[in-house]
Structure 1
Amino acid sequence: MAMQELLKDEDIKKALGAFQAPDSFDHKKFFEMVGLKAMSAENVKKVFKVLDVDASGFIEEEELKFVLKGFSKDGRDLTDQETKAFLAAADKDGDGKIGIDEFEAIVHE
């Protein structure tokens, strides 16, 4: 499933444009701008599955670095600092990765 089947292309472009500068990524604002925050838990979990590139059931730190590319191939890589901050905010059980329920929870925070 492609991200464009779940979210509006114009919202994705606008959100990616707002966070072009390194160390500017704010997951809460990003999720709101792309329309994820307003989506049902079921649809947020579909987005998670697109971002879980290796289909492990988790978004690991290495996948998280490329999370914006999951929304569009034009997305930039997150910096190490952004990746670690995002992981720390989402990883509620402290296992070093983001599970599907953790992802849904942080989107709807």
Structure 2
Amino acid sequence: MAMSGILNCEDIKKALDAFAVAESFDVKKFFEMVGLKTKSAADVKKVFTVLDADNSGFIEEEELKFVLKGFSKDGRDLTEKETKAFLRAADKDGDGKIGVEEFTALVKE
């Protein structure tokens, strides 16, 4: 499933361009810019499924590094610092990974 079926391609491009520079990524602003904050819970879950590359039911730290590529193959890799900040923002139960409920909560913040 491609993100373009859920989100507007132009919004994705603008968001990726806005955070193209290393250490500039802000997950909450990114979700807002791509239009994810206004999507239904079902659409947010679809996005989660795309980002959960290994289909484990969780987005692990290694998958977070490539999260922007999940939105577009042209997306850059997140730096280690950005990856850890993303994980801290979403991982409410401290298990080192992001479940669908945690992801949905972060998107809607």
| Fold similarity call, TM over 0.5 | yes
Matched position secondary structure for 2:38: coil
> Which residue does 2:50 correspond to in 1?
50
> Which residue does 1:61 correspond to in 2?
61
RMSD: 0.4
> Which residue does 1:98 correspond to in 2?
98
Report the CA distance between 1:41 and its aligned residue: 1.1
> Which residue does 1:14 correspond to in 2?
14
The unaligned stretches of length 5 or more in structure 2 are none
Cα distance between partner residues in 2 of 1:88 and 1:34: 21
Q: TM-score, normalised by structure 1?
A: 0.99
Q: TM-score, normalised by structure 2?
A: 0.99
Cα distance between partner residues in 1 of 2:41 and 2:70: 19
Aligned residues: 109
The unaligned stretches of length 5 or more in structure 1 are none
Matched position secondary structure for 2:92: coil
Runs of 4+ in 1 over 3 A off after TM superposition: none
> Which residue does 2:36 correspond to in 1?
36
Q: State percent identity of aligned pairs.
A: 76
Q: Deviation per CA, 1:42-84: give whole Å up to 9, x if none.
A: 1101100001000000000000000000000000000000000
Cα distance between partner residues in 2 of 1:28 and 1:86: 9
